[in-house]
Amino acid sequence: MEQKNEENKTMMLQALIMVFIVLFPLCGYSAIYGYVDERGIYHFTNITPIGKKYHTVIPDKSKYLLGKGLDSSNTNNKVYDPMIVRHSQTHGIDPSLVKAVMKAESNFNPNAVSPKGAQGLMQLMPDTAKLMKVENPFDPDENIKGGTRYLKFLENTFQGNIELMLAAYNAGPSRVMEYKRTVPPIEETINFIKRVKYYYNKLKNPHEG
């Protein structure tokens, strides 16, 4: 009997997952977590859970795509272009670079949260968001403003060296300084630089294969 109940729960969970996939196509590529409470009710969230026994229902596809390969399927997403252009002009930074970072960081998902706690479109860490005077990192306009301002800060810090700027954006300026102003030998950081440069080139030269 107990085994039958477990099978029913499994089937119900599978059905619920299918509903999620149909209604919310991988939720902008972010992960989906779930758990069953003591009453047998299923709970789901796309925010990295804390303090509950959640398990991964749908893995973070954006991190898989962006960490393992290059996904250019929606590089030309124009939803946030007006905000990107406005804040880029304010801070004197190339809007294509801002958009490339956004693509690599969140795949244009304003609700993205990384396992390390980075938030929103530009994946700002809480301390960075605070430093850039971002009150709500999930507000697209605020997040883009903060991320663009931070890129300008890094551009000034590293004299416009795009690889060092991106390395610092991913690993932190102190880590780049620790390696005497060179790209730290961190696989995630090296891959991040490659991804952003790839998307940046696609945005600057959209007609190239």
Catalytic residues: 105
Within 8 A by CB and 6+ apart from 98, the residues are 84, 87, 88, 122, 144, 147, 148, 151
Q: What are the backbone angles phi and psi of residue 47, rounded to the nearest 5°?
A: -95, 135
Cα(109)–Cα(130) distance, rounded to whole angstroms? 20
C-alpha distances (whole Å) from 87 to each of 80, 97, 119 are 11, 12, 18
Reported as type and span, the H/E element at residue 34 is strand 32-36
Write the DSSP string, 72-95: -TTTT--TTHHHHHHHHHHHT--H
3-state secondary structure of 44: strand
Cα(131)–Cα(126) distance, rounded to whole angstroms? 9
Cα(27)–Cα(111) distance, rounded to whole angstroms? 9
